């Protein structure tokens, strides 16, 4: 009995803790200009969020008992921004030790204390795709997070988000593995073969393992005389099999049109259907092919020329893809850009005169679709999560500021309450001498955060990132 009580207490504690961490909120936001994304923009409209879920969108909603009302007159209400490519809140980014490390995962590499999450919330961002780096052809598995800043690692996870994995083509994997280390791949030809070889190996593994398990069962139930030779469970192969079976979606670091075409051919051969090309600076060259294959793209608004494979880029990439019917998102891949993805999206209006509606889709519903969470976030719809931000003006204007950001109806950022100094129990006027600069600041914007953790590969050989 004593044991039972103790156990119950532990269970309650664990449940209680999770319940606290994933606390959901209720709020009524009134009289705002509501950019729903999927159902137009509605002026003077109220949005009611109850227990984390959007329950009503219309004029003149009465606040239920105990629900706080926030007046958004003259302001814009927009769904929380979804960043399809981020490395903030990562403990480690690259397991660079082999061209294929499908078995590793960002799942246990989340830093719940990373201030970058709070800063991203200040830019109206509510969900991120925390990705493994690009040192390997088949890197690690990614993790989709909600920016419930202040919660613990588990509470940051986006429940129900599909599993995804990082692939990488081109210069990064060929430099990390091939150049000076004589490990395939050294070329884009080798990159293709690494993928095909591992897919073939995975198919063999699946068959052998299946046969072994069946034989083992037969032996154990007396339907077979001799025990079979064991085929050990292989974590790397298991993940590759899951990719082949469509259970894990691929997000592939890629730049050049030829390598993007290559991967589409490979995926076609193996029947892999759901994939997003990340960065994809030259996707504009093959927009019709991407459309034909129902491939997604997630691009920078204007980064280019930081390495040779992005020299023939155009800032019109996103708008060309959009015009050609490719579902595209704008991502940050940066602790700085994530703070103003709205203005990165606005650049698609500048370059290519994309409509404002489509520009906003590129940072909300499109990335949500690419991450398989579009049934939950990415637009303001009844039944969806209460992940919204209130903006001082139209979110695409440079003069607009995210004033309040909600995740699951709970307020995680409020400009009015934003402290001058985030240190605990410290007077902001006091002096300081301890620095805490971040890796990407030291390495600069051009350092390519995708290669974080793989520096040793370069430093030991006098190469620069």
Report 446-465 residues binding another protein (CB under 8 A).
446, 464-465
Among 29-37, 195-203, 223-231, 332-340, which window interacts with another protein (CB under 8 A)? 332-340
Task: Give the nearer residue to another protein in terms of CB position, either 105 or 276.
Answer: 276
DSSP conformation letters of 306-335: SSGGGTT--TTHHHHHHHTT--EEE---ST
Q: Which of 50, 193, 349, 411 binds another protein (CB under 8 A)?
A: 349
Sign of CA dihedral 154, 157, 159, 161: negative
Q: How far is the CB of 416 from another protein (least distance, A)?
A: 13
Inter-residue contact 72 to 31 (CB < 8 Å): yes
Residue in this structure with the two tokens 């390997």, named with its chain if needed: 136
Q: How far is the CB of 365 from another protein (least distance, A)?
A: 20
Q: Which of 206, 356, 411, 414 binds another protein (CB under 8 A)?
A: 356
Q: How far is the CB of 103 from another protein (least distance, A)?
A: 29
Angle, helices 188-220 vs 257-270, to 10°: value is 20
Task: Give the nearer residue to another protein in terms of CB position, either 41 or 397.
Answer: 397
Task: Give the nearer residue to another protein in terms of CB position, either 91 or 353.
Answer: 353
Nearest partner of 128 among 418, 332, 277, judged by Cα = 332
Task: Give the nearer residue to another protein in terms of CB position, either 65 or 442.
Answer: 442
Task: Give the nearer residue to another protein in terms of CB position, either 129 or 340.
Answer: 340
Q: Which of 79, 133, 190, 335 binds another protein (CB under 8 A)?
A: 335
Residue in this structure with the two tokens 């991203």, named with its chain if needed: 120
Q: Which of 58, 265, 294, 325 binds another protein (CB under 8 A)?
A: 265
Q: Compute CA distances 198 → 19, 194, 206, 250, 260, whole Å.
A: 41, 6, 12, 15, 18
Interaction of residue 189 with another protein, rule CB under 8 A: no
Inter-residue contact 84 to 251 (CB < 8 Å): yes
Q: How far is the CB of 359 from another protein (least distance, A)?
A: 8
Task: Give the nearer residue to another protein in terms of CB position, either 141 or 174.
Answer: 174
Inter-residue contact 253 to 168 (CB < 8 Å): yes
Inter-residue contact 138 to 101 (CB < 8 Å): yes
Q: Please give the DSSP secondary-structure letter assigned to residue 2.
A: H
Burial 411-438 (b: 16+ CB within 10 A, else e): bbbbeeeeeeeeeeeeeeeeeeeeeeee
Among 30-38, 132-140, 243-251, 331-339, which window interacts with another protein (CB under 8 A)? 331-339
Q: Binding string, 424-443, against another protein, x = CB under 8 A?
A: --x-----xxxxxxx--xx-
Within 8 A by CB and 6+ apart from 2, the residues are none
Nearest partner of 278 among 79, 100, 450, 451, judged by Cα = 450
Q: Which of residues 245-264 bind another protein (CB under 8 A)?
A: 261, 264
Interaction of residue 350 with another protein, rule CB under 8 A: yes
Q: Which of 87, 132, 343, 361 binds another protein (CB under 8 A)?
A: 343
Nearest partner of 321 among 313, 329, 332, judged by Cα = 329
- State how far the Cα of 342 lies from the Cα of 347, in Å rounded to an integer: 9
Interaction of residue 336 with another protein, rule CB under 8 A: yes
Instruction: For 23, list phi and psi in degrees, rounded to 5.
Output: -55, 135
Q: How far is the CB of 305 from another protein (least distance, A)?
A: 4
Task: Give the nearer residue to another protein in terms of CB position, either 119 or 205.
Answer: 119
Q: Which of 238, 323, 358, 414 binds another protein (CB under 8 A)?
A: 323
Q: Which of residues 105-124 bind another protein (CB under 8 A)?
A: 115-116, 118-119, 122
Residues in binding contact with another protein, number by CB under 8 A: 72
Q: Which of residues 386-425 bind another protein (CB under 8 A)?
A: 396-401, 418-423
Angle, helices 235-244 vs 188-220, to 10°: value is 100
Q: Which of 87, 129, 251, 285 binds another protein (CB under 8 A)?
A: 285
Interaction of residue 53 with another protein, rule CB under 8 A: no
Among 91-99, 227-235, 345-353, 367-375, which window interacts with another protein (CB under 8 A)? 345-353
């Amino acid at each position: 009995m004593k044991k039972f009580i103790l156990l119950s207490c532990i269970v309650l504690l664990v449940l209680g803790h999770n319940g606290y961490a994933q606390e959901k909120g209720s709020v009524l936001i009134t009289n705002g200009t509501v950019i729903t994304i999927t159902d137009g923009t509605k002026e003077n409209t109220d949005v009611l969020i109850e227990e984390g879920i959007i329950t009503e969108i219309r004029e003149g909603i009465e606040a239920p008992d105990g629900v706080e009302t926030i007046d958004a007159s003259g302001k814009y209400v927009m769904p929380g921004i979804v960043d399809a490519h981020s490395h903030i809140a990562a403990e480690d980014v690259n397991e660079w030790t082999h061209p294929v490390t499908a078995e590793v995962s960002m799942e246990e590499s989340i830093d719940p204390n990373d201030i970058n999450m709070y800063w991203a919330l200040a830019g109206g961002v509510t969900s991120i795709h925390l990705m493994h780096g690009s040192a390997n052809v088949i890197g690690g598995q990614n993790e989709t997070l909600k920016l419930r800043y202040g919660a613990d690692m588990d509470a940051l996870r986006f429940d129900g988000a599909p599993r995804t994995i990082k692939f990488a083509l081109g210069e990064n994997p060929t430099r990390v593995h091939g150049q000076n280390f004589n490990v395939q791949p050294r070329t884009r030809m080798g990159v293709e073969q690494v993928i095909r070889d591992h897919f073939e190996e995975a198919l063999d593994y699946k068959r052998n393992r299946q046969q072994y398990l069946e034989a083992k069962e037969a032996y154990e139930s007396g339907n077979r005389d001799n025990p079979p030779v064991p085929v050990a469970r292989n974590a790397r192969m298991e993940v590759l099999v899951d990719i082949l079976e469509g259970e894990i979606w691929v997000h592939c670091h890629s730049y050049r049109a030829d390598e993007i075409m290559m991967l589409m051919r490979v995926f076609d051969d193996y029947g892999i259907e759901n994939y997003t090309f990340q960065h994809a600076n030259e996707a504009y060259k093959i927009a019709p092919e991407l459309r034909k294959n129902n491939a997604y793209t997630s691009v920078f608004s204007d980064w280019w020329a930081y390495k040779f494979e992005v020299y023939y880029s155009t800032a019109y990439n996103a708008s060309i893809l959009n015009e050609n019917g490719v579902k595209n998102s704008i991502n940050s891949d940066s602790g700085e850009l994530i703070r103003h993805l709205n203005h990165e999206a606005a650049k698609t209006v500048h370059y290519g005169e994309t409509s404002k509606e489509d520009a906003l889709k590129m940072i909300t519903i499109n990335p949500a679709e690419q991450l398989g969470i579009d049934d939950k976030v990415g637009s303001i719809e009844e039944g969806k999560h209460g992940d919204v931000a209130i903006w001082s003006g139209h979110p695409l204007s440079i003069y607009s500021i995210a004033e309040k950001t909600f995740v699951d109806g709970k307020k995680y950022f409020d400009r009015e309450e934003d402290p001058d100094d985030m240190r605990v129990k410290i007077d902001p006027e006091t002096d300081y001498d301890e620095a805490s600069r971040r890796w990407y600041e030291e390495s600069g914007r051009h350092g390519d955060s995708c290669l974080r953790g793989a520096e040793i590969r370069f430093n030991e050989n006098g190469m620069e990132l």
